[in-house]
Amino acid sequence: MPARILNGNEIRDQIKAEVAAELQQFQECGVRPGLAVILVGNNPASEIYTRNKVKSCESLGIHSERLILPETATTEELLSCVAELNGREEIDGILVQLPLPPQVDSKRVLLAVDPQKDVDGFHPVNLGNLVTQRPGLIPCTPAGILEILKRSGIPIEGQRAVVIGRSDIVGKPVALLLMHHNATVTVCHSRTRDLPRVCREADILVAALGKPGMVTGEFVKPGATVIDVGISPLTSRADVERFFPGDAKRMEEFERKGSTLLGDVDPSSVYPVAGAITPVPGGVGPLTIAMLMVNTVRAARLRRAQRPVAVAR
Ligand code: NDP
């Protein structure tokens, strides 16, 4: 039987509807949560990501601002921008779009964000809250992965989960979340020996390694759930033909746009083996933005409960 497709767009729409209902309650109290996105330079991918984030906020009625600094911005300039946003009562969430240019000390900048406004969940205070299961802001992509599993009725408790990737923003937090939901979790990385064998033990396999198409059918236990986090553009015809043999729709997209997206999973060999899988695009990606909205509203709730100042706009 072909793998069941876990449709991230549908789950995103459910979550956005829930956020909209919550925003209604804020509105009744005369409060409009606010998000500020800082973009440095003109990296085309970052420009698209930040524009989409602001657009999604606006579609829900969250106040949003995009602050654009030049490619030459210094660490000090970013720190002063963050400090200004930390002090603004009507801003509930601050997101610094990564990567930052090489002259900027990214760690110092991320550390400067008020943990209560850290809607990306990257601040060590929030990561510590996640480790110790205290209330806080959880990184968006890992939180989105859990939503996909839960809302698709995929059992987690007692299951064997294997996460490929140990980054601070995806691999480690998703492993913690799965562990907190009582999965038995193995985390793999570039030094793991016999990766396909370890992955074949998984009931839930999360591929977050950033290596397009590397996870083949050989990595997957028949019937397993596969979450494909990777997103990479394929820009050569030979690659599109290799990964999507006979797929006229993909080829047409490639002809039209000059590229098509591939995850870390090789679709032609994994789809026949997996029980369920997130597609790329349309799987994990839509959840990342949805969870940013969730985190902005959550930040507004947590922070304003501590300092009950309603800021009317
Ligand atoms: P990083 O590059 O920070 O981390 C990659 C991880 O994968 C590292 O831990 C690395 O191991 C491991 N790895 C790399 N190569 C191999 C290999 N051959 N075998 C086993 N492990 C390997 O990436 P991110 O976590 O930031 O992102 C991962 C992917 O997810 C990327 O494609 C990114 O674009 C995508 N992404 C998608 C999002 C979405 O919304 N869908 C959001 C965020 C990311 P080691 O630690 O040993 O180097």
Q: Which of 134, 138, 84 is nearest to 113 (CA)?
A: 84
| Cα 165 to Cα 168: distance, rounded to the nearest angstrom | 9
Structure tokens at 99: 């990567």
- Does 97 qualify as catalytic in the annotation? yes
Structural domains in the chain plus CATH codes:
31-114 (3.40.50.10860), 140-285 (3.40.50.720)
Distance, CA 172 to ligand 1 centroid (Å)?
11
The contacts of residue 165 (CB under 8 Å, 6+ apart) are: 171, 187, 188, 189, 206, 207, 208, 209, 210, 229
Question: Residue 33 has what pLDDT?
Answer: 96
Pocket lined around ligand 1, Cβ cut-off 6 Å? 141, 164-167, 169-171, 188-192, 195, 208-211, 229-232, 284-285, 288
Contact 261, 234 (CB under 8 A): yes
Q: Which one of 190, 193, 215, 280 would you pick to mutate in the ligand 1 pocket, going by the greatest count of ligand atoms within 8 A of its CB? A: 190
The C-alpha atoms of residue 51 and residue 62 are separated, in whole angstroms, by 14
Closest CA to 313 of 303, 302, 300: 300
Q: Does residue 120 carry a catalytic annotation? A: yes
Verify whether residue 194 is a known catalytic residue. no
**Structure tokens belonging to residue 75:** 């660490």
What averages of pLDDT result for each successive group of 10 residues across the chain (313 residues)? Answer: 94 97 93 96 90 92 96 98 97 96 96 97 96 96 98 98 97 98 98 98 98 98 98 96 96 96 97 98 96 97 69 41
Q: Which atom of ligand 1 is nearest to the CA of 289?
A: 40
Instruction: Give the residue from 299, 305, 312, 310 showing the smallest Cα distance to 86.
Output: 299
**Residue 306 pLDDT:** 65
Helix and strand element counts for the chain (H, E): 12, 11
Q: For ligand 1, atom 19, which residue shows the shortest CA distance?
A: 190
Give the per-residue pLDDT at 307: 56
Q: 68 with 39: CB under 8 angstroms?
A: yes
